[in-house]
Amino acid sequence: MINVIILLVSLLFVLFIFELGLRIISYQDPFENRQYQAEHGTFQTSDILGYELRANNTFSGRLDETNNINSLGFRGKMPSPQKKSLRIAVLGDSVVYGYGIDENKTFPVLLEEALQTNGIESEVLNFGILGYTSEQEVLTYQQKIKALNPDLVVIGYVLNDADSRLSFASVEKLNLSQTCNIAYLFRIDCRIKTQLKKLRSLTFIKYRMNAIFAKTKTKDQIRKTYANITRYNTNVIVPFKTLKEENIPTIITI
């Protein structure tokens, strides 16, 4: 019994030293989630879209890239006051947004450069938002883009866009009643996880575990999503059908 107590005390002491060291070097999870970003002013809640980027904001990303958010709440330039001959609205998630890269390397910017090089006067606008699903993208078109009168809509579709996600407004409610996974290994009460997230040592361990298990977990989640016909129909078919009814030429890229 004494040996067990000594072992536990030793483990706690090591954990304390580890925690102290991480705090001294100001360690943070390299892949901060959207809730963390929301708490630090990157995002704001939206009654219709769940969440959206905070307008007129500039911040550095996880790879020190600069993110300039315009007054409409999207990355990059504002639509020109005088519409050019071809206006293209690009919708999508973090891939279209250009998470982790500079603005001049994003898909919409490169597309506009390619069109201009080939003599096509055009304006390509980036409406990608990190983590958005197909449903949120179509709602974005209806709420914010349709009034800009685009000639063409391009949707950057990623396999996990068929999944459904929580809004920031519902996170607190979820934390009161649900369980959350820990490094894809087991589940605990979300309220406990919220407190544990304050420990840098556990954040470090979680990040390392995620690096090992996240890829397999993502594949499994995608398989489950597409195996569920009802979910696929609700999250993909219905939104795209709604967009089709808008009578706007649309290209879906995968």
- The 3-state secondary structure of the chain reads CHHHHHHHHHHHHHHHHHHHHHHHCCCCCCCCCHHHHHHCCCEEEECCCEEEECCCEEEECCCCCEEEECCCCCECCCCCCCCCCCEEEEEECHHHHCCCCCHHHCHHHHHHHHHHHCCCCCEEEEEECCCCCHHHHHHHHHHHHHHHCCCEEEEECCHHHHCCCCCHHHHHHHHHHCEEEECCCEEEEHHHHHHHCCCHHHHHHHHHHHHHHHHHHHHHHHHHHHHCHHHHHHHHHHHHHHHHCCCCCEEEEC
Q: pLDDT, tens digit, for every residue of 195-211?
A: 666 666 666 666 666 66
User: 123-143 burial, b for 16+ CB within 10 Å, e for fewer?
Assistant: bbbbbbbbbbbbbbbbbbbee
Angstrom distances, CA of residue 109 to CA of 31, 43, 102, 177, 208 = 25, 23, 10, 43, 34
Q: Report pLDDT for 153.
A: 95
* Structure confidence by residue, pLDDT tens digits, 164-182: 654 444 433 433 344 555 5
> If pLDDT is split at 50, 70 and 90, which confidence band does 241 have?
confident
Report how far residue 220's alpha carbon sits from residue 225's, in angstroms, rounded to the nearest whole number. 9
Model pTM? 0.67
63-114 pLDDT, tens digit per residue, is: 678 889 999 999 999 999 888 789 999 999 989 999 888 999 999 999 999 9
* Phi, psi (degrees; rounded to nearest 5) at 227: -80, -20
250 has pLDDT over 70? yes
The overall average pLDDT reported for the chain is 76
pLDDT of 140 higher than 60: yes
Higher pLDDT, 122 or 254: 122
Calculate what percentage of the chain has a pLDDT beyond 70: 62
Q: Looking at residue 114, what is its pLDDT?
A: 96
Residue ranges of domains in the chain = 30-254
Query: Highest mean pLDDT: which of 2-16, 47-61, 161-175?
Result: 47-61
More confident residue, 217 or 183: 217
Predicted local confidence at residue 121, as pLDDT? 93
Confidence grade of residue 236 (pLDDT, cut at 50, 70, 90): confident
Amino acid 65: pLDDT: 80
The reported pLDDT for the residue numbered 76 is 94
